[in-house]
Structure 1
Amino acid sequence: MPERTVNVLLVEDDEVDVMNVERAFRRQNIHHPLYVAHNGLEALNMLRGAAEAEAPLPKDRRVVLLDINMPKMNGLEFLRELRRDDTLKATPVVVLTTSDADQDRLEAYRLNVAGYILKPVAFATFAEVIASLNDYWAICEIP
């Protein structure tokens, strides 16, 4: 089955974590376009194609990898706004975070995330997590 392109928006304020995702994509030979927003506001602008967005995302086959703890607009605030927006509410979101707080996990699932994954400490394990997400995207029908 040929690989269909998925436009991945990584919403992450930590540059080391951004580099780890980029490195994991390379290690796992994942060639999907990776866009980066450093907080929820920037991510919403990119998804909406706002003029102030550095790089608007294509409007089809999008998935969001979302951190919870960020400045300006955190991950849960972003999710609430995303789900209120009729044009964006069906966007698949996978939380990829260090927050193992039960209230964060419960709120994220209440806001219909596709998954909640704790960032592994070891890079090799992190790369395996990214590979598993890529396998998941390959079999899912992403709008």
Structure 2
Amino acid sequence: MYGLKQRMRGMTLTTAAAALLVLLAVACGGEGGASVGTRPPVTGTDWTVDSVTVDGTAHPAPARAHLKIQDGRAAGSLGCNRFSATAQITGDQIRLSHLRTTRMACDNARMTFERALARTLTAGPLTMTGEDGGLTLSTAGGDRVRLSGPPE
């Protein structure tokens, strides 16, 4: 009888340990599980520019500001003028270079935003982080561009 109790106790502990491992695996998430900080696909997405933050001050984007990164290129609108640039992605960083823009004259607010956005996008390698279907591009100095993807 004592041997049976010992075996039952051992089985109970084994079952409890297995259940705990299952709970831990579920809590950590599995492949395809959504989690905060999961970066959405960067290339092939039509990104809307929501804001640019420079020196700690956020500037909301004009309605038409957008970009798309595909096949080693970035193209879109800075809010008034169209742009294109070379895009190089390495791990969680992107570098935009050789920025070219059209030269339309726009109101002062749009032009100020465009200059800030263009400087931030070409400030060197930008670290890409994602959350809630959006994408943030951050400079080493803390300036950032907040992008949102198309509605799902």
TM bucket, shorter chain: under 0.3
Q: Which has the larger radius of gyration?
A: 2
* Higher normalized strand content (fraction of residues): 2
The structure where helix makes up a greater share of residues is: 1
- What's the TM-score once normalised by structure 1's chain length? 0.26
